[in-house]
Chains A and B, each alone.
Chain A
């Protein structure tokens, strides 16, 4: 009986199978991971920012070129001493229908800097006071900070209604899309917010972020039409879509710094000549083609060319590829039969393949390389937290301001797992916060040069971000941060 029922159901299943329907103005986006939480004070995951960019807004927000534009603020004034910021608020509404007031802004920013509430309070530690009245909000800093405005563009500085509860699962923002449904491990469905302040209404009624961890599965979904867009397609599956006329791929810099991290304190790597030897033995071309299928730009700096305003593009010649000289440097340093352990995060094929190629290049100059694969959780504990490693590889995600990226190389910084230490560099990073314009640029150019000269690590490449989408989709733009700006897309 059971058996017959089973067969009957199966026949039914197969006959119904052809009749799937699709929304006309819905955009299905494949992403690899769930958001952690939609509470702006708590979120720390890149996967959240990617989606939350459409839901939440701060006083300012990022534009595709990395500059800042007004979001909930129409414009702002900075006092001559660079310590007081005065924002003029826009007439905007929250997803719950309420109007955005100065009180909401003050509440959200005060919570963002409250150590009891916020996971990222440290980013706002310089804020002394936030005051608001009418359509004006004033933020006072304890000292000038050129990077401060960029902090306000982060999701952690998003504005939500005062007294709102349960934002973790039910976000209330002011963005062009509002959350309709979140099924962890399955999808996050957004609906267009019709009261959005923007002049042009977004094209898509609905944007569904589908959680598909496997890159191959994501591509098959794109090919079969279940998914319209993969914002970050792995280069390893590019050949699957390369010859398909229905699919187009838009490539752009990812603003990710892939670094061969060297433990600067551990002998013999505390000798700059040994670090230099490691750097000069690395052939980036070979790695870019072997590990990233050619979809990458070589890097010689701790900043990516995706930040053109601050990027120092003249560092190729500091440690050029020269295996003979690398060998010579090792001899000079008195290091013979160098043995090193290369610890690689197995969850990231890009870094693993990079490591395998780099290991061969080092072995070519007589270094004995022992590759150790560890899973990401172990990597974070061993390499990042305990700094117990010789050499490793990781990708450092881009931010909008150079300070946020470069500050991790300063001596006392808890994110400085390279154990890099240069008093000159520390001083430059401090100066960078108070300088403006071309003076600020010059400081960061010099700071990048020190990282290269002292070989904090070997900067390898900035992989290209491959956005693969149905051919009809227009308006895609790469951002220097991890976002999918669905409101820009149309057909």
Chain B
């Protein structure tokens, strides 16, 4: 129930925001060549002559019936636009978080375990650095190296999965740094505790102690953070999409807002809201599986 209420509120807020914003979709389509007559005709054709509440009501009724309407800017169904953009953003977000998680676990555990060695300290410095570097800059550096100099990967635009590699790495880097830090902090305390000493004394292999006994205790915090990162990315890969020229949901939303393309903006925002809510739900189950102490109220 609250799920439906949240989605409704989100759609209402985005509609109001777009109404408050100055600018008119018909005017934007016609640009500086538009005459009064052409503007009036186009507004009629796009249905902009109807009052705002009526348009919102129409959109809502259609949306509930699964009809996302037609984009004002592209003259094609919003559904077609979303179907093309959604997989790109989903893949970006999912693989970026998985990659971040994978690298964080490895570097985090080792730098915590060998915190006195020079390379353990080095890894900590690197993870601090990774958190501090702006993403668009990392993206541009990666493009310069892998696309322009080495010509191994596309510089941008979307042709196939190869186009996603550099953006995924770009997105994963700062997130991996954050997660690495969490693994280090979590493990740092645990490694000096009694049960670890017991496990070592039992003669268990060091790797088993590290990953099975020590790491799993810090895993909940890491998983929670990774979940939050995933949610953030579903709604916020826009900067990286821009740098790499990827036609994902972020770019679609940006284009929609700039053109005041109401059906497009509404649908994308509501779909992202639904995706975020679903991801949160899934994360709750993951946490439940990781820690038996967690209980649903």
Contacts and interface: CB of A to CB of B under 8 A. Distances in A.
Given A17-B165, A378-B22, A6 B75 contact: no
A224 B39 CA distance: 42
B27 A183 contact: no
B61 to A, nearest CB: 25
A168 B123 CA distance: 55
Contacts of B41: 115, 119, 121
Interface of A: 2-3, 6-7, 9-10, 13-14, 16-18, 20, 34, 36-37, 39, 42, 44-46, 115, 119-122, 168-169, 183-187, 210-214, 216-218, 220-221, 223-227, 347, 375-378, 380-382, 384-385, 394, 396-397, 413-415
B95 A122 contact: no
Given A6-B95, A34-B74, A224-B155, 19 more contacts: A6-B99, A6-B102, A9-B95, A13-B165, A17-B153, A185-B252, A186-B157, A211-B247, A217-B244, A217-B245, A223-B148, A225-B151, A377-B21, A378-B22, A378-B23, A380-B28, A381-B27, A384-B32, A413-B35
Nearest to A6: B98
B157 A221 contact: yes
User: Which are the 6 A-B pairs with shortest beta-carbon distances?
Assistant: A377-B23, A185-B247, A220-B155, A6-B98, A414-B36, A224-B155
Nearest to B94: A6
B278 interface: no
Given A6-B95, A10-B99, A397-B32, A37 B255 contact: no
B154 interface: yes
A226 B33 contact: no
Contacts of A225: 151
Interface string B230-262: 000000000000111101000110010011100
29 contacts: A2-B98, A3-B102, A6-B98, A9-B95, A10-B95, A13-B165, A17-B152, A42-B75, A45-B29, A45-B31, A115-B41, A122-B35, A168-B75, A183-B247, A184-B84, A186-B84, A213-B245, A216-B140, A217-B157, A217-B245, A221-B154, A227-B157, A377-B24, A377-B259, A380-B27, A381-B23, A381-B27, A385-B27, A415-B35
B38 interface: yes
B161 interface: yes
Contacts of B260: 377
A221 B155 contact: yes
B245 A397 contact: no
Contacts of A378: 21-23
Contacts of B31: 44-46, 380
Given A186-B247, A220-B148, A380-B23, A122 B154 contact: no
A187 to B, nearest CB: 8
Contacts of B251: 185, 213
Contacts of A115: 37, 41
Interface string B167-187: 000000000000000000000
Nearest to A5: B98
A377 B28 contact: yes
A224 B144 CA distance: 9
A227 B245 CA distance: 13
A431 B296 CA distance: 82
Nearest to A223: B148
B34 interface: yes
Nearest to A7: B102
A37 B75 contact: yes
Given A20-B162, A122-B35, A224 B147 contact: yes
A44 B38 CA distance: 10
A216 to B, nearest CB: 8
A217 B245 CA distance: 7
B76 interface: yes
B42 interface: yes
A44 B30 contact: yes
Contacts of A224: 143, 147-148, 151, 154-155
B92 interface: no
B81 A184 contact: yes
B22 A223 contact: no
Nearest to B25: A377
A220 B99 CA distance: 25
A220 B32 contact: no
A414 B40 CA distance: 12
A42 B74 CA distance: 11
A210 B75 contact: no
A217 B156 contact: yes
B156 A212 contact: yes
B63 interface: no
Contacts of B243: 214, 217
Given A6-B98, A220-B147, A381-B22, A20 B154 contact: yes
Contact of B155 (A42, A226, A377): A226
A491 B35 CA distance: 43
B85 interface: yes
Nearest to A184: B74
B133 to A, nearest CB: 18
B273 interface: no
B93 interface: no
B210 interface: no
B156 A36 contact: no
Contacts of B152: 17-18
A218 to B, nearest CB: 8
A186 B241 CA distance: 12
B73 interface: yes
B158 interface: yes
Contacts of A186: 84, 157-158, 247
A44 B23 contact: no
Contacts of B162: 13, 16-17, 20
B101 interface: yes
B105 interface: yes
A396 B155 contact: no
Nearest to A383: B32
A88 B144 CA distance: 55
A373 B161 CA distance: 38
Contacts of B80: 184
